[in-house]
Amino acid sequence: MEKADTGSNSMDFAEIVLKIMKCLGVEFAPLNIPFRRRLQTLAAGFWFITMVLGGFAGSILAVYLVLFTQYWWLTLLYLFWALVMDRHTSERSGRRNEWMRSWSWWKYTREYFPTSLERVPWMTLDKKKNYLFCCYPHGMLCTGPFMAFGTNYGGFDQFFPNHKTHIITLDQHFSMPFFRELALGLGGCKATAKSISHILNKEEGGNVAILMVGGATEAFYCKPGVYKIIYDKRKGFIKIAIRTGAPLVPVISFGETDLFDQLENPEGSLLRSVQEWLKKYIGLAPAIPVGRGFFQYTFGMIPKRKPVHTIVGQPMEVEKNANPTQEQIDTLHEKFKQHLINLFEEQKYNYVQNPEQTKLEFI
């Protein structure tokens, strides 16, 4: 009796699959890629998935531990502490953990793109002052600001050794079991006026609130080569800056929008309507990213390997006023808009492929 040549059949099937994928336009990664680059890809992919799904995973884990394990009582104690006793920490400057910020995971993720932090010439921070860094564009996941200000590998400490960063992020992150500890450890704080004001009002100075002004909604406009930001109706950060007297600092991440494409979702489309409806109830912008995979470059949830350069501009001084008028808010809002445009126009020739055709768009 003859034995079936299963090895040959398997090889034939694999070759057929590869040929079909190539016909569909799928570009596969070479097999001889160095191991360190594989680690970088793994780190970047795991980072994106963790940031997008980590909160839901932590919630599911908590339910599982309570309902199906002998550690239910310990989990309930943790939940009581986290959601009741410790619920205000995220509005009181957070709880940074330098060990978490120094994980090798972040180093490999930064190397993957790579990301870099730079500042305009002669730019310095007064160690006795607190600052509000206003970062644009949001992109899919704020890669540039996260690496620059949320880890110890971004270079912030080298440029500004007298200041400590506090990343302003979604309230929901601090209500999700286990994931909230990661968010706090990396320097996260709630995206509320109370939280930001608490940071900027510290008398000793030396604090920087990192704010993605456009918020998660800006992810809907994330397209390669496009710098479209939500600004015109966002004036709350201006009011906080005036009330606290904190200087406003423009921060632009060139390349942020090149890491992902997304499914077409023009305003008024069915997909966009569903996304807006979901955002209203879950607080997150459910944009559908089109990146790459672990072994191919055509589709997937891993960011594309493209550089992101985060540029910190000159601070714009703000006169403190506990009760600013709407006219004062509008005036400073327009002034800072021009400050952003100037930074973008000055720096785009260093980082954008088609600088003459690329503009900072405001909506």
> How confident is the model over 76-108, as pLDDT tens digits?
999 999 999 999 999 999 999 999 999 999 999
First to last CA, the chain: 74
Q: Do the domain assignments include residue 25? A: no
Q: How far is CA 185 from CA 43, 89, 118, 208, 278, in A?
A: 18, 11, 24, 16, 28
**Which range marks the domain in which residue 77 is found?**
32-351+358-362
266-283 per-position pLDDT tens digit: 777 777 777 677 766 666
The predicted model gives 61-69 an average pLDDT of 97
Coil vs helix vs strand at 256: helix
Residue 290's pLDDT band, with cuts at 50, 70 and 90, is confident
For 175, the token pair is 């209500």
Predicted confidence (pLDDT) at residue 350 exceeds the cutoff of 50: yes
Q: Do the domain assignments include residue 114? A: yes
CB 229 within 8 A of CB 337: no
Q: Do the domain assignments include residue 308? A: yes
More confident position, 14 or 242:
242
Which pLDDT score, from 0 to 100, does residue 202 have? 96
Which pLDDT score, from 0 to 100, does residue 1 have? 43
Q: Do the domain assignments include residue 6? A: no
Q: Do the domain assignments include residue 2? A: no
Q: What residue type is 173 in one-letter code? A: H
Distance (Å, whole) CA 40 – CA 38: 5
Predicted confidence (pLDDT) at residue 214 exceeds the cutoff of 80: yes
Q: Among residues 269, 309, 306, 308, which one has the least CA distance to residue 287? A: 269
How many residues does this entry show for the chain? Answer: 363
Q: Global pTM?
A: 0.90
Rounded to the nearest 10°, the torsion over CA 329, 332, 338, 339 is -130
Q: Do the domain assignments include residue 277? A: yes
Predicted confidence (pLDDT) at residue 229 exceeds the cutoff of 70: yes
Averaged confidence pLDDT in the chain? 90
Predicted confidence (pLDDT) at residue 153 exceeds the cutoff of 50: yes
CB 214 within 8 A of CB 256: no
Task: Give the number of other Cβ atoms within 10 Å of residue 362's Cβ.
Answer: 14
Coil vs helix vs strand at 1: coil
The predicted model gives 49-61 an average pLDDT of 94
Residue 216's pLDDT band, with cuts at 50, 70 and 90, is confident
Q: Do the domain assignments include residue 275? A: yes
Query: Considering its fold, how many domains does the chain have in total?
Result: 1
Coil vs helix vs strand at 289: strand
Distance (Å, whole) CA 75 – CA 62: 7
Radius of gyration, CA atoms only, the chain: 23
Residue 32's pLDDT band, with cuts at 50, 70 and 90, is confident
Which pLDDT score, from 0 to 100, does residue 26 have? 76
Residue 127's pLDDT band, with cuts at 50, 70 and 90, is very high
Phi then psi for residue 46, to 5 deg, are: -65, -35
Which pLDDT score, from 0 to 100, does residue 38 have? 94
Predicted confidence (pLDDT) at residue 195 exceeds the cutoff of 90: yes
Which pLDDT score, from 0 to 100, does residue 181 have? 97
303-349 per-position pLDDT tens digit: 999 999 999 999 999 999 999 999 999 999 999 999 999 999 999 99
Predicted confidence (pLDDT) at residue 3 exceeds the cutoff of 60: no
Predicted confidence (pLDDT) at residue 170 exceeds the cutoff of 80: yes
The predicted model gives 159-178 an average pLDDT of 95
Q: Among residues 136, 100, 144, 153, which one has the least CA distance to residue 249? A: 136
Rounded to the nearest 10°, the torsion over CA 267, 283, 169, 114 is -50
CB 119 within 8 A of CB 159: yes
Q: Do the domain assignments include residue 119? A: yes
Question: Which long-range CB contacts under 8 A does 196-199 form with residues at least 24 apart?
Answer: 196/132, 196/168, 196/237, 196/240, 197/240, 197/243, 197/244, 198/91, 198/92, 198/93, 199/93, 199/130, 199/166
What percentage of residues in the chain have a pLDDT greater than 90? 75
